Structure 1
Amino acid sequence: MSSKDQKNLAQVIDKIAKMDEPRRSIVQHVHTVIMAAAPELKPRIWYGMPAYALSASTPALVTLRNDDRLNLAITEKVPFRSAGGVDGLLMPAAWFFETVDADTERRITEIVRSVVD
């Protein structure tokens, strides 16, 4: 891991550490899920949010927001695909959550893997 990657990771860990509980633990868990799902992604701060990119110098692909609700989002830098089915041409790009159970963890893993495939 390059020193820039280490610095960026430290900034993400620090950003998460400054969150209030219970969100801090939830976002830390999601960070761990993201890193396990796509270890090639590099954590960094993107517009003040924990985010994940292919390198320290490329745009973020996935972000974690801590606003009124927690939000996992893929950025406009990811090729979007229509959802199909009842969602037709809608393109999923953001998911709100309040906690992470096993089903949510599996879905986060699928979403993250879809941006690097």
Structure 2
Amino acid sequence: MAEKTTSSGLSADERAAVKERAKELRAQEKAGKSREAGTKAVLDAIAALGDDDKALAEGLHRIVSDVAPDLVPKTYYGMPGYANADGRIVVFLQPAGKFKTRYSTVGFEGPAHLDDGDMWATAFALLALTPITEKKLTELVKAAVS
């Protein structure tokens, strides 16, 4: 059954995400490019997740911290994200619980260097962090920042 939409055509979840993003942008503007403020915001966002999503977010945080330490943690529509020196999100985790989907998604935005010819993936469904998925995520994050 389709979720009810507001008069502007957004669902209640989408409307909440837009409000959360506006709040984030105000907080990020106050904090500037503070790595500490961004890290705290991301860790707070991770702590608020359900157990399955939390394990995935903690794993992504560890991977990004290890292989792309120049990326700055910052929330992105309330989700854990990591930005380049220009403040643009490179990679983020969309938790399954946030939009009540059956899998979480690791997404890559425009600054990510994943180009592969005329077509390439920018989002990957993630159910569990296993040695295989962890290796693939590590390779993707490395490629994204190279």
Fold-level similarity (TM above 0.5): yes
CA–CA distance in structure 1, aligned partners of residues 65 and 71 of structure 2: 7
Q: 2:108 is aligned with what amino acid?
A: I
Paired residues in the alignment total: 110
- 1:70 is matched with which residue: 104, 114, 128? 104
The alignment partner of 1:108 has SS state of helix
Q: Which has the higher contact order (CA 8 A, sep 6+)?
A: 1
Match in the other structure for 1:21: 51
Q: Is the 8 A contact 1:37 1:109 kept in 2?
A: yes
Deviations 1:16-46 (A, max 9, x none): 0000112212221221112111111111012
- Report which stretch shifted further, 35-44 or 46-55: 46-55
Give 1:77 deviation, angstroms. 2.7
Give 1:3 deviation, angstroms. 7.8
Of Structure 1 and Structure 2, the greater helix share is in 2
- 1:6 is matched with which residue: 36, 42, 53? 36
- Report which stretch shifted further, 4-13 or 26-35: 26-35
CA–CA distance in structure 2, aligned partners of residues 101 and 80 of structure 1: 22
Give 1:113 deviation, angstroms. 0.7
Unaligned runs of 5+ in 1: 84-88
Q: Is the 8 A contact 2:114 2:140 kept in 1?
A: no
Give 1:47 deviation, angstroms. 2.3
Match in the other structure for 1:36: 66
Deviations 1:53-81 (A, max 9, x none): 123x5211111111312111110233452
Q: Is the 8 A contact 2:104 2:126 kept in 1?
A: yes
Structure 2 vs 1, CA of residues 93 and 3 (structure 1 numbering), >3 Å: closer, same or farther?
A: closer
CA–CA distance in structure 1, aligned partners of residues 135 and 93 of structure 2: 16
Q: Is the 8 A contact 1:34 1:108 kept in 2?
A: no
Of Structure 1 and Structure 2, the greater strand share is in 1
CA–CA distance in structure 2, aligned partners of residues 16 and 9 of structure 1: 10
Which structure has the larger Rg over C-alpha atoms? 2
CA–CA distance in structure 1, aligned partners of residues 89 and 33 of structure 2: 18
Unaligned runs of 5+ in 2: 1-31
CA–CA distance in structure 2, aligned partners of residues 25 and 79 of structure 1: 26
Aligned residues: CA RMSD: 1.9
